[in-house]
Chains A and B, each alone.
Chain A
Amino acid sequence: DADVTQTPRNRITKTGKRIMLECSQTKGHDRMYWYRQDPGLGLQLIYYSFDVKDINKGEISDGYSVSRQAQAKFSLSLESAIPNQTALYFCATSGPPKDRGTSSYNEQFFGPGTRLTVL
């Protein structure tokens, strides 16, 4: 089974509808992220959470909200979808930073993505 799963994988909806995208992970990681990817562009951070009850805005949080219901679950909501929110959405997880010499790093593990189309 995949470590990071997203549901649904594809969704078509209409302007003004409320949409929820779900992310679940079995990696035991505390940190979870939601990203958006537009064609030909890099991933942009929407929200991230370092623990249950910890929610932080990313670069492009307007129009989105999130809920960290449990360590393993992080959901993204579009309260009133609009066409320019049509994109690929990725959930990611990471563990605590690992030390390597004088630096640290934390590797992110991505889900398969949700393709959302808002008509």
Chain B
Amino acid sequence: KNQVEQSPQSLIILEGKNCTLQCNYTVSPFSNLRWYKQDTGRGPVSLTIMTFSENTKSNGRYTATLDADTKQSSLHITASQLSDSASYICVVSARTNAGKSTFGDGTTLTVKP
């Protein structure tokens, strides 16, 4: 069964600090991995997309890494801001006709002043 597991479930950091969120997956055959940011009560918004041949992708202060051998990804946030407080969702798609996606449960990040 395809699964995506994220850790930690929640995280509290002080403004200006860095943090790293983890994503482990068992989706096969692997096609791509996406990180989304979801503000409370809003729809998810795409941060990064990585395919099999890519092992790092940046979007401003967000940097995602992918290790396809160990089936792990991380999302690193540098110099956190209050607006980074949100849920971060890891989504992995399979290389099938439907390109079916499996969503992780998300990591809730709270940035405090």
**CB–CB A111/B43 < 8 A:** yes
From 28 to 87 in chain B, residues with beta carbon under 8 angstroms from any chain A beta carbon are 30-32, 34, 41-46, 49, 51-54
**CB–CB A56/B98 < 8 A:** yes
From 70 to 113 in chain B, residues with beta carbon under 8 angstroms from any chain A beta carbon are 89, 93, 95, 98-101, 103-106
**CB–CB A112/B43 < 8 A:** yes
Select from chain A the residue with minimum beta-carbon distance to B108: A40
**In the complex, what distance in Å separates the CA atom of A106 from the CA atom of B101?**
10
The smallest C-beta distance from B9 to any residue of chain A, in angstroms, reads: 8
From 4 to 56 in chain A, residues with beta carbon under 8 angstroms from any chain B beta carbon are 4, 40-45, 48, 56
Contact of B105 among A42, A90, A100 (CB under 8 A): A42
Q: A112-B42, A113-B42 are in contact. Are A103 and B53 (CB under 8 A)?
A: yes
**In the complex, what distance in Å separates the CA atom of A113 from the CA atom of B44?**
9
Contact of A103 among B9, B45, B51, B104 (CB under 8 A): B51
List, in ascending order, chain B residues with CB within 8 A of A97's CB: 99
B21 contacts chain A at the CB level, 8 A cutoff: no
B4 contacts chain A at the CB level, 8 A cutoff: yes
List, in ascending order, chain A residues with CB within 8 A of B43's CB: 4, 90, 92, 110-113
Select from chain B the residue with minimum beta-carbon distance to A115: B41
Contact of B106 among A4, A42, A56, A105 (CB under 8 A): A42
**CB–CB A42/B51 < 8 A:** no
**CB–CB A42/B104 < 8 A:** yes
**CB–CB B52/A108 < 8 A:** no
Select from chain A the residue with minimum beta-carbon distance to B95: A103
A69 contacts chain B at the CB level, 8 A cutoff: no
**CB–CB B105/A41 < 8 A:** yes
29 example contacts (A-B, Cβ-Cβ < 8 A) are as follows A40-B9, A42-B4, A42-B89, A42-B104, A43-B103, A44-B103, A45-B100, A45-B101, A48-B98, A100-B32, A100-B53, A101-B51, A101-B54, A102-B51, A102-B52, A103-B30, A103-B31, A103-B32, A105-B31, A105-B32, A105-B51, A105-B93, A106-B93, A107-B46, A108-B34, A108-B46, A110-B45, A111-B43, A112-B43
8 interchain residue pairs of minimum CB distance: A110-B43, A103-B51, A42-B103, A105-B32, A101-B53, A43-B103, A103-B52, A42-B105
